[in-house]
Structure 1
Amino acid sequence: MTPITDPRDRLIVALDLADVDAARALVDRIGDAATFYKIGYQLGYNGGLAFARELAKRGLKTFLDLKLHDIGNTVEEGVRAVSDLGASFLTVHAYPQTMRAAVRGRSGNLKVLAVTVLTSYDDADAAEAGYALPVSALVAKRAGQARDIGIDGIVCSALEAGPVRTAIGPERLIVTPGIRPAGAELGDQKRVLTPGQARAAGIDHVVVGRPITGAADPRAVARAIVAEMGEA
C-alpha cells in the first residue's frame, strides 16, 4: 500500500449530483481543500466518466463507485476499460467470481475495492435479502475472500473496520462511506462514525457526500473534516 502523504487525500468527496456542470462548479468551490472525488451512478450516467478524465487532467484523484457485478468476462472487460480513464479507485461487489474477474482486468494505477455489505444495510435488511449471516459476519467473510483473491482494498462501514483490518492485513486499503461530522443528519446511512473516529479506527479514506455538497461553504467543511482526521 502506497503511503498517504497528503492528508487531503484521505477525504473523498462524493459528487452525488445531477450533472457534470453542477459537479464541476462544486469542485471549483472546494478548490484546494480536497483532492479526491467519488463519481457514482447518478453522475456517472450523466457524463461522469468523461468528467473523471477531466479531473485526472487537473491532477485530481477519482473514485468510480460503479459496484460492478456481472458474469466474469463482462466484469473483466469493464475493469479493463475503466483502467484507461485515469481513475484511482473502482468498486466491485465482493462476490468471489466478480472479484477474480476484476483482478484479471485491473491494470495501471487503478485499485479495485470490494464492497462487502452496503452501509445502508443492518441485520434486518440482510435477513430480508436472504442472507443467513448477520452483517458483521458477512463483512468479515467477504473481506477474507477479497484478501485471498488479491483485491486492493475494502469498502465497509467504519464500525466494521477492526474486523476487516484483521481479515485483510495492513497492506490493503479500507475505505468507508457513511461518514458524518458530529451533528450532521444521518440520511439513509445506518452504520456511521465521525471523520475523527474513522481515522482513529485506522481507516485510510473516508467518503463524505451531503455534509459537504449541501453546505453553504463546502470548502470550509472539507477543510474541517481533513483537520479533524489529522487531529485523530
Structure 2
Amino acid sequence: MMQKSSIIVALDYDSADKALVLAEQLNPQQCLLKVGKSLFTRCGPSLLRALADLGHRVFLDLKYHDIPATVAGAVQAAADLNVWMVNVHASGGSQMLEAAARALAGYHQRPLLIGVTVLTSMNQQTYQSLGFVRSLPEQVAHLTRLTMEAGLDGVVCSPLEVQAVKARFPQAVTVTPGVRPYWASQDDQSRILTPKQACERGSDFLVIGRPITTAAEPQTALLKIIEELGE
C-alpha cells in the first residue's frame, strides 16, 4: 500500500492489447488495476492472467446482481481466477449478499467481496426518477448496513459518503469511484472529490481512470496523484 489510500486504475479500454500496454507502463507496487464489464466481455479470463503475469492485482468490477445461487456461482468463478477484489450490487438484497459471502468462505485466499451502493454517476434527481423515496445518503447508509450485516468486506460508494460509512462501520473497506484530480475533467461523474479530499475523509481505495489512462505518460500521472496524497 502507499500513504493512506491506494489507487485503483480503471482499465477502460476496448481491447486486451491497449490494456496491457497501459499495464506495462504502471508500477504494480504503486497501484492496482480494475477490469470492468466491457473489457472483460471482450477479452475474458485470459486478460486477467496476463495482468497477473505482469505482477498486477486485479479488481474484477462486474457488479453481479442476480438470484442468490447465480451470484454465488459468479463470485466463486471470480475467486478461481485469483482476482484480488470482486463486487456485487447491494441492491440485490440480503439473501443474495449472504449467498455471495458464503460462497467465498471456504477459500484459503479469497478475494475481497464488496457491495456496490449507489453509482457515482447518479445525482439526487436521476436517483429519484427511478422511483426511490430515500435520499441518496439514506440509501447508501441502508445498503451499507445490508452489506456489512451479510458479512461482506465493505462497499463501493461516493467519496462524499465515506465518512458516514466509516462512522457506522469503521471496519468497512471503502472503494470510491468519483475521484478526480483538480487538474482533470469531471467526465460523467456527479458526486466527486479530489484524491486528497477522498483520502482525508477515510477512503481506502481510490478508483481513477481517464486522468491516468489518457495521460501522455500514465506512470507520471500516477506519481503526480501519489505525491498529492502525500502532501
Aligned with 2:25 (options 22, 29, 51): 29
Q: Which runs of 5+ in 2 are unaligned?
A: none
Range with greater deviation from structure 2 (46-55 or 217-226): 46-55
1:129 is aligned to: 130
CA contact (8 A) 1:9 1:36 kept: no
2:53 is aligned to: 57
2:221 is aligned to: 221
Percent of aligned pairs with the same residue?
Answer: 38
CA contact (8 A) 1:78 1:105 kept: no
1:230 is aligned to: 230
CA contact (8 A) 1:38 1:65 kept: yes
How far has the Cα of 1:32 moved from its partner? 5.0
Range with greater deviation from structure 2 (160-169 or 32-41): 32-41
Q: Which runs of 5+ in 1 are unaligned?
A: none
1:69 is aligned to: 65
C-alpha separation in 2, matches of 1:193 and 1:45: 30
CA contact (8 A) 1:33 1:223 kept: no
How far has the Cα of 1:139 moved from its partner? 0.2
**1:61 corresponds to which letter in structure 2?**
R
1:111 is aligned to: 112
How far has the Cα of 1:33 moved from its partner? 6.8
CA contact (8 A) 1:71 1:98 kept: yes
Aligned with 1:190: secondary structure? coil
How far has the Cα of 1:217 moved from its partner? 1.1
2:13 is aligned to: 17
1:195 aligned onto 2:195 = yes
How far has the Cα of 1:98 moved from its partner? 2.3
CA contact (8 A) 1:33 1:219 kept: no
* Number of aligned residues: 226
1:205 aligned onto 2:195 = no
Compared CA separation, residues 20 and 182, structure 1 to 2 (3 A): same
2:98 is aligned to: 100
C-alpha separation in 2, matches of 1:194 and 1:48: 32
Aligned with 2:78 (options 79, 82, 94): 82
Q: Deviations over 1:27-74 (max 9, x none)?
A: 112245733100001111111432112222332110000000000100
Q: TM-score, normalised on structure 1? A: 0.92
Q: Deviations over 1:157-189 (max 9, x none)?
A: 0000111112222x2210100110003111110
